[in-house]
Structure 1
């Protein structure tokens, strides 16, 4: 699967995610991030290799330039020997010609290597751009994953609460409360009735006792008067 297909897969999994299936897009996103990191590692390895080739090729080109310049310098020295009568002209020109031939070969090789180094550098720049894109994508999807996990946790909690509320029997609860209310009112009425009965009982006893005490007092008063009469006390 190509990098862009995997990116599309991750984006699609998030776009079509629903609350009841949050766990699936989370797994898909995590897998997409792992794939991206694998691609990033491969891209960075390729980038390092291409850059290494470009650096070596550029150095070889510069080295061939130096060698070409050195052969040219040697050819000039041979010609100077002819001018100074230090060497046979025919031999000096022959050797100088060979030096110039080598100089030309190294100069051409320097040009070829420079062009090759430029191609490798251009390829390295493209790979560097891809590496930067993959890094950016990984950062983006890791941030999205954090958000998605938070949403999933919130959704799960909300779902649990709503499910508990949905299972509550409101009519049964109201009926139970009404029954408790009736029971309390019944107990209160009975308590009041017993209180009135107790109060009524106490009142009758009090009246009886009062009446008896009053009769005793009347009888005692009559006896006293009768005794006084016998004794002639007025």
Structure 2
């Protein structure tokens, strides 16, 4: 930005530690629109010169906002105001793929492949898929994006009987399975909150430690055979999950 964001006078009459004052001033500049999503913050040295604060104090105030998700640091590029991401609501009562879910919203879908091949199964995959120790597993790992924004990391594992050639999956896993009459008809999902580690946060282009949602899904055919074991990480700032609850058959009766 061409003009100074702050001056030493901004800190003269304010109470509290200086790094917290800087944190508050930057946050207020973001909420007021002085700093827009995608704007870059002045370099640490320049910000220290503008404010009269030490570089250590500036670094501490900026890092607090990075941890809160208001700023993001890109190696070699600088510190930027986090882009706003449209929050999406996904119904947990529907067994759909990411591709189908985004298509219903009229949004584009892109994938960045991290791994796609046949591997020796991990102990977790052996237990989930009911495999033998000498069996192999098809593994699909990718970052799922919509309209250019990374929203989720999917790590799917399937028995070779369900997917003998992982390279067949170019767009939607469920479309590939449906073509062979192997699309799952039910699933059990487990959700848990998590803080994204450095690697996953980098893939999702958010700050390490930011809130995320972990979903484990076991999907089945009508016969009860397991089709897939998928572990997904969703950005906490991009998704709301909703489920419809109905009162059980005993709900209308008075307890005796």
- TM-score of the superposed pair, with normalisation by structure 1: 0.21
Higher relative contact order (CA 8 A, sep 6+): 1
Specify which structure has the higher proportion of helix.
Answer: 1
Specify which structure has the higher proportion of strand.
Answer: 2
Larger Rg: 1
